[in-house]
Structure 1
Amino acid sequence: MSTPLVEARGIVKQYGPTVALADGRLTVHAGESHALVGRNGAGKSTLVTVLTGLQAPDAGTVRFDGGPAPALADRDGWRRKVACVYQRPTVVPELTVAENLFINRQPTGRGGLISWRRLRTEAAEVLDTWGVRVDPDARTADLKVEDRQMVEIARALSFGARFIVLDEPTAQLDKREIERLFTRMRALQDSGVTFLFISHHLQEVYEVCQTVTVLRDARWITTAPVAELPRAALVEAMAGEAAGARTAGRAAVRDTAPVVLEARGLTSAAYQGVDLTVRSGEAVGLAGSSGSGKVELAESFAGLHTPTGGSARLDGERLPYGDVAAALRAGVGCVPRDRHEQGLVPGMTVGDNTTLSVLDRLGRHGFVATARRRGVARELIRRLGIHTEGPDQPVSDLSGGNAQKVVMARALASDPRLLVLINPTAGVDVKSKESLLARMDSARDDGTAVLVVSDELDDLRRCDRVLVLFHGRVVAEYPSGWRDHELIAAIEGVDHG
């Protein structure tokens, strides 16, 4: 075999107690499109940060063309080896294509001033060399997403890199644009460019890649030619279970249970035509990849977004859109996707954070009764099993699991009719995870309707039904008792036909 273009061996990366990568391995040969797949949390993003020189591994080695990787501080050395085109563009939208191609390295003329003529000429040459049909003088913000991606690829190639990481490149593209991207990838491969292709849509792996590497639970699982790995075997490698394994089922919620949440034809930029019902005492899961629209859909019910079409009703009343306070008054409690950015006020105490959603119940005329607030907080601390010195302890002192319990406590404090949980167990320890899911079960037993968005199969296992979103549409529904491999196959867009 020829010397690999890129080789990573035994990559280990920890962030405090969290092991992001325990055994990362990758071998990519020149001229191929190599897929890197795995469920969220498998370690793909961590491996990419190491491969692109953004972080040094705690252990392991990265080699390019048989030689050692550049020193971490040698940014130009890394740019000559590898580049990553992310799902979110890194170009400056208000600059032209030419300016973005040569940002921070513009050709200069007399007196050290930028030579705009040379800039346009050299930009046109780069674009022509790599077959990118874009006007160098066009404002980058005016380009289609696929053309912006090609500009980023051309910029990377102009540094000398011939290894390009494409991180979820199709997430914002429609079917026709995806086909054009794949055509361009094949043409660039013929010109000597090598791709690492990261996608949650396994169907695309079979369309454009020659080799696939699977990560699971922060470890390398397998590398194989795509043509020799059936779809079922690939899903099994990602899921870590045989096709026959089935999760334990729950007794179905009665059809006579009253409907709490009902959505019909709900549409926005992130999702289209969603029909959804959640009954009293029922937990419904929303599954899908990062670009599926599942988070935006759940956030719409919590008042964070305004749909452009369709309707949603809570106990028969129209649900207020785009107004979190109004959604709270209507009976919606929410654990948001990021407790640090959206869930906690770090400068406040545990008691303040747990009672933020019920201040109107703790006093009159805008004044909060301190003793009553502390009493409510103590009861919430007891119910959620929050390990704290008391209501007056700063919430910033708590561990991740206890901080998430505070967010859950606040969501439950208002006795919601609909509880929206978005990644409710992300970044918490096993014991805290079980405690949080037990609180979800208790809320359901009390008759609360629960909507759960999660990338964790363990969270979704507690649900009565799971809906799978793909490119913004509900494509499948699984009753309790689903098999891991079939749910993952639907999430990853595997075509069973």
Structure 2
Amino acid sequence: MVTAPPVAQATGITKRFGPTVALHDAGITIRPGETHALVGRNGAGKSTLVSVLTGLQAPDEGSVTFGGRPAPRLAERDAWRQRVACVYQKSTIIPQLTVAENLFLNRHGRGRGGLISWRTVRDRAREVLRTWSVDVDVRTLAGELDIEQRQFVEIARALSFGARFIILDEPTAQLDGAAINRLFARIRDLQQQGITFLFISHHLQEVYEICDTVTVFRDARHILTAPVAELPRAELVAAMTGEGAAKGGGPSRRPVAAGSPTVLAMEGSAVEGAYHDVSFRIRGGEIVGLAGAAGSGRTEVAETVVGLRAADTGTVRIAGVRPRPGSVPAALRAGVGFVPQDRHQQGLVPEMSIADNGTLTIPERLGPRGLIDGRRRDAYARSMIEKLAIKTPGPQLPVSGLSGGNQQKVVMARAMANDPKLLVLINPTAGVDVRSKEFLLGKVEEIAESGTGVLIASDELDDLRTCDRVLVMFQGRVVAEKAGDWHDHELVAAMEGVDLDV
């Protein structure tokens, strides 16, 4: 019997971005008609592989084939669309255009005089949606569709180019349980019609529900490929974390004093579409982790604490004070220090100096009646530079001239400037080198030793090792609490929604 060639195959793929090796001799083979899962922790190389498979990036080494034939040249975009399409977690649908306009964007076809026949466009759009069983009015503005409908429209658009291989990148991240079930039903229907899927997800229980085969990447390398039905969940988690998986480091710290005051009390808090019924407390001197994969709600909980979001229900108290919900200034006055998720978008004003960036939260300490004393500001900045070992010729250097690790130290300095009772950090070591990461986490421990409570919201295991305990979130709820001696395997499993006892 003649075996059909793989729908898609990547072999020996190596891709570097400067000194960073994003993929090293990695590969994947996807067979016709299957739903093939690609899983791995952040930084494993999944996104880079997708960019290679879709022709957005050329590999430095290795090859890609579709149906046994070499992939098109990167410039041949139409040829790529006929072979592969990707439906991303962040929608590429243009909300101001109708469904029909989105389906045939830049390929409307023209009638007499070169004018677009909108009637023909709408008729073609109806035919595409009917063929792939998508029940949406083609005249509807895409911005009026819900997330589930937009995904189905994007899948239909991909199929309309001729592709029969679809990459789904975190397709369930923003869907509720009922919508996920409908999506999975559509995937199974499309499989019966000869469509092949590459399914990328942080939720491992979904891999066992919908996928036939799973491939694991770790540290930019291919680790294993196996039939899902033959791979125990514990072995899948072990492949993602590595055989040398470590334990958390919380117990090595000085125990939190029994009489330490509560510096954070969140009770019954909820934000629609993000998280539900979250309650926990942090005492002075305690480091608490808030772990979870993308879409788990961990970031939104942390942003609620610091006033970037207002909860729909529930309360947040900082050191006994209930700041006005959704107000960052009120949270700062109550005693919060904050390191945001993205230092570039939320943490720094790039053309302002180190001194100005580091003192944005304490103008009242820098001079009377709102006036800033430059000497006082610079004196504070110099002490901050020394305390955090920021490599700079002086406090007047724009922060845009610093390395990523030193920029993050400036953000940390500003968070510490108001002597916070509670320090909240979201992905605090993202995009910094190993030495800067160790330094920053060591500084967090120092801050906790001084009596400040710390909340670290992150999916990076190294960020969480210093925690006294870790709360794990999954699909908007706190599903587990782990003491400081947790093991990588069990924490990752909880974050991915997997019960290792099953």
> TM-score normalized by structure 1?
0.97
Does 2:225 correspond to 1:186? no
Residues 381-415 of structure 1: per-residue CA shift (max 9 Å, x gap)? 11111111111222111111111111111111111
Does 2:214 correspond to 1:209? no
Does 2:317 correspond to 1:319? no
Residues 56-90 of structure 1: per-residue CA shift (max 9 Å, x gap)? 22222211112221111221111111111111211
Q: How does 1:159-174 map to 2 (within 5 A)?
A: 159-174=161-176
Q: How does 1:393-472 map to 2 (within 5 A)?
A: 393-472=397-476
Identify the residue that residue 195 of structure 1 maps to in structure 2: 197
Residues 7-35 of structure 1: per-residue CA shift (max 9 Å, x gap)? 11222222233222223311111111000
Q: Paired residue for 1:257, among 260, 263, 274?
A: 260
Deviation at 1:105, TM superposition (A): 0.7
Do 1:236 and 1:242's aligned partners in 2 also have CA atoms closer than 8 Å?
no
Identify the residue that residue 241 of structure 1 maps to in structure 2: 243
Q: Is the partner of 2:106 in helix, strand or coil?
A: coil
Deviation at 1:95, TM superposition (A): 2.2
Deviation at 1:343, TM superposition (A): 1.0
Q: Is the partner of 1:256 in helix, strand or coil?
A: coil
Distance 2:146 2:407 in 1: 41
Q: How does 1:336-415 map to 2 (within 5 A)?
A: 336-415=340-419
Identify the residue that residue 306 of structure 1 maps to in structure 2: 310
Q: Which amino acid aligns with 2:262?
A: V
Q: Is the partner of 1:235 in helix, strand or coil?
A: helix
Deviation at 1:55, TM superposition (A): 1.7
Do 1:293 and 1:472's aligned partners in 2 also have CA atoms closer than 8 Å?
yes
Deviation at 1:133, TM superposition (A): 2.4
Distance 1:422 1:486 in 2: 22
Q: Is the partner of 2:301 in helix, strand or coil?
A: helix
Q: Which has the higher mean CA deviation after the structures are superposed, 11-20 or 176-185?
A: 11-20
Distance 1:321 1:54 in 2: 42
Q: Paired residue for 1:478, among 482, 495, 501?
A: 482
Does 2:246 correspond to 1:226? no
After the TM superposition, which parts of structure 1 deviate over 3 Å for at least 4 consecutive aligned residues?
Answer: 245-249
Residues 177-221 of structure 1: per-residue CA shift (max 9 Å, x gap)? 111111110110111111000111101101111000001112111
Q: Paired residue for 2:30, among 28, 31, 42?
A: 28
Do 2:270 and 2:278's aligned partners in 1 also have CA atoms closer than 8 Å?
yes
Distance 1:248 1:412 in 2: 23
Do 1:301 and 1:319's aligned partners in 2 also have CA atoms closer than 8 Å?
no
Q: Which amino acid aligns with 1:347?
A: E
Q: Paired residue for 1:157, among 152, 156, 159?
A: 159
Distance 2:319 2:335 in 1: 9
Q: Which has the higher mean CA deviation after the structures are superposed, 326-335 or 430-439?
A: 326-335
Q: Which has the higher mean CA deviation after the structures are superposed, 312-321 or 156-165?
A: 312-321
Deviation at 1:248, TM superposition (A): 4.2
Distance 2:400 2:95 in 1: 37
Distance 1:68 1:459 in 2: 42
Deviation at 1:254, TM superposition (A): 4.1
Do 1:281 and 1:445's aligned partners in 2 also have CA atoms closer than 8 Å?
yes
Do 1:241 and 1:485's aligned partners in 2 also have CA atoms closer than 8 Å?
no
Residues 129-156 of structure 1: per-residue CA shift (max 9 Å, x gap)? 2222222223322323222111111111
Q: Which has the higher mean CA deviation after the structures are superposed, 250-259 or 350-359?
A: 250-259
Q: Paired residue for 1:290, among 294, 314, 335?
A: 294
Distance 2:301 2:494 in 1: 18
Considering only aligned residues, what root-mean-square deviation do their CA atoms show, in Å? 1.5
Q: Which has the higher mean CA deviation after the structures are superposed, 214-223 or 245-254?
A: 245-254
Q: Which has the higher mean CA deviation after the structures are superposed, 359-368 or 88-97?
A: 88-97
Residue segments in structure 2 that go unaligned for 5+ positions in a row: none
Residue segments in structure 1 that go unaligned for 5+ positions in a row: none
